[in-house]
A = this chain, B = another copy of it.
Amino acid sequence: MIIIDYKDTRPIYEQIVDKFQQLILRGILKTDEQMPSVRMLAMELSINPNTIQKAYAELERQGFIYAVKGRGNFVAYNDKLLEKKKAEIRSKIQYICQEAAEIGIPREELFDFMADGRKE
């Protein structure tokens, strides 16, 4: 379910957070479904349990999961999560637009970049 790309420049915990966000937002992990336990997942991925812990803490902070002491972590999907994630993406896009504007790239070209991506 989760595959870590060690050649990815992003930290491992971030890759895990991203992956679970996708699984939850796309409905592959359903509300109240149990998340894999920290230890199991750490074993499965051969990584440090601390790293999973950090990823889960971040997912909880963002409202994607909730922890029940002694029982584990569970999916906490609700309608607002998608909105949050969208806002995040929106903010990233606008940051790049600004970067482009600062060196004089017209917005039309950015639209083209998006269209290009579709074909690849």
A interface residues with partner B (beta carbon < 8 Å): 6-7, 11-12, 18, 21-22, 25-26, 61, 66, 68-71, 74, 76, 82, 85-86, 89-90, 92-94, 96-100, 102-105, 107, 109-111, 113-114, 116-118, 120
Contacts and interface: CB of A to CB of B under 8 A. Distances in A.
Q: Is the interface of A mostly helix, strand, loop or mixed?
A: helix
30 contacts: A6-B66, A6-B68, A6-B71, A6-B74, A7-B66, A7-B76, A11-B69, A11-B70, A12-B70, A21-B103, A22-B103, A25-B104, A26-B102, A86-B109, A89-B96, A89-B100, A89-B110, A93-B93, A93-B96, A93-B113, A93-B114, A93-B117, A94-B113, A94-B114, A94-B116, A94-B117, A97-B114, A97-B118, A107-B114, A111-B114
Given A11-B70, A114-B107, A89 B93 contact: no
Given A25-B104, A26-B104, A94 B120 contact: yes
A99 B89 contact: yes
